[in-house]
Amino acid sequence: MFMKNTLKILTLSLMLGMFSCAQQEDELSSKKSQLDEFKSESAELKIKIQELEQEISKMDPEFRKSQRKSVLVTTLKPVNGKFDHFVEVTGSVLSKKNVNISAEVSGRVEEILTREGMSVKKGQVIARIDAESVNRNLDEIKTQLELATTIYEKQERLWEQQIGTEIQLLEARNRKETLEKNLSSIALQKDRSAIRAPFNGTVEELIVRVGELVQPGSPVLNFVGEDDLFIEGDISERYVGILNMGDSVSIHFPSIDKTLKTKVTAIGRIINPDNRTFKIEVFLPKVEKVKPNMISVLNIQDYSVEDAVIVPSYLILKDNKGSYVFVVEDGIAHKKYIERGMTYNGETEITSGLTGSEELIDKGFREVGDNFSVNVSS
């Protein structure tokens, strides 16, 4: 009897639990359906609210202003002043006195008195060529000249005593003068066996070594003068007719961190077909530590306006109508369409659209739009 009552109670409890779960599931499903319905209604209301706001904004500008939140921005004024544009190219220091010094006599290189990179003065002996054969010829000519001089002097004394003929005197004189000229020529050859620096400069390269045979005209060394330096650079052909003789040039030497001003002294007439450039030459005054083949950066002025309206290049935006900047008028941002001129070093010349008195939006210019309300930070 007891067992039967227990089973009835358990069965009843299970039935009640199942009924409760079913009831909760029905309630949850109802709430989810209700939430979806409210969300749908909310989305529709938002769309309707936006449409109404747009319609009212078109009819009431003041309402449009009130609906927009003010954007915090900073402003700056355009710069009114001189605008310069420069062409930047890489140049190399060269020397007009870059020469190969050659032997003037034949012989064996006897001595080299310099080394590569050594600075020498004008007239200083750089190398010597063996002059043994020249010395022998020189001694021989001297002996012959002594004899010819003695014969001429005796013949002259005889002629004064009316002894001998005038032809004998003239022959003796001619022999003596010929030998004197030969002696001078041989002495010159001996002097030329010593190779000297033609001007102040640096030994760039030794082409021969001690013991090698050389002939007249054989290059012995490459020599670069310290004076008459200039800078050569390659300019794009798009600047043909724009760059002119005398244009101002700023030169910077990165290796020694030195900058100086100079001018264009020569412009090439031929376009290089390989890189579509032409050469320019820039005068280089004497500067300490500047050496041939040193790299330099040239900034050549090709454009200048004395009274220009200048704005930072990053403030200029562009749309289908053209380039524009944002200006602030009575707390409202406005698009101001402009015409751009040249750009250099992060600044752009404005040829039309701005007078220079406007307040340009600086920080925050990408967060605003036309007719946005703005709050200018101090």
Q: Per residue in 223-276, pLDDT tens?
A: 887 777 889 989 888 888 878 888 888 899 988 888 888 888 888 889 989 989
Q: Give domain limits for the chain.
A: 2-61, 69-82+307-376, 87-96+225-305, 106-223
Place of tokens 């820039």: 282
**Secondary structure of residue 256 in the 3-state scheme:** coil
Give the span between the Cα atoms of 132 and 107, in whole angstroms: 9
Confidence of residue 63 (pLDDT cuts 50, 70, 90): low
Q: What are phi and psi of 163, to 5 degrees?
A: -110, 135
Q: Is the Cβ–Cβ distance between 278 and 235 less than 8 Å? A: yes
The alpha-helical segments, DSSP class H, found in the chain are: 2-59, 61-67, 132-160, 166-192
Cα(206)–Cα(127) distance, integer angstroms = 10
pLDDT in tens, 138-183: 677 777 778 878 887 877 777 777 777 777 778 778 887 887 787 7
Region of 107 please: left (phi>0), alpha (psi -120 to 50) or beta.
Answer: left
Residues in the chain: 378
Question: Residue 292 half-sphere exposure, CB side, CA atoms within 13 Å?
Answer: 20
Considering the four listed CATH numbers 1.10.260.40, 1.10.8.60, 3.40.50.1980, 2.40.420.20, the one that applies to the domain covering 69-82+307-376 is 2.40.420.20
**Helices within 90-233 (DSSP H only):** 132-160, 166-192
pLDDT at residue 205, as a whole number: 80
- Looking at domain 87-96+225-305, its CATH class is mainly beta
| N-to-C CA span, the chain | 94
- pTM score over 0.75: no
Q: What is the largest CA-CA distance in the chain?
A: 193
Domain 106-223 grouped into CATH 2.40.50.100: yes
Q: Are 228 and 96 spatial neighbours (Cβ–Cβ below 8 Å)?
A: yes
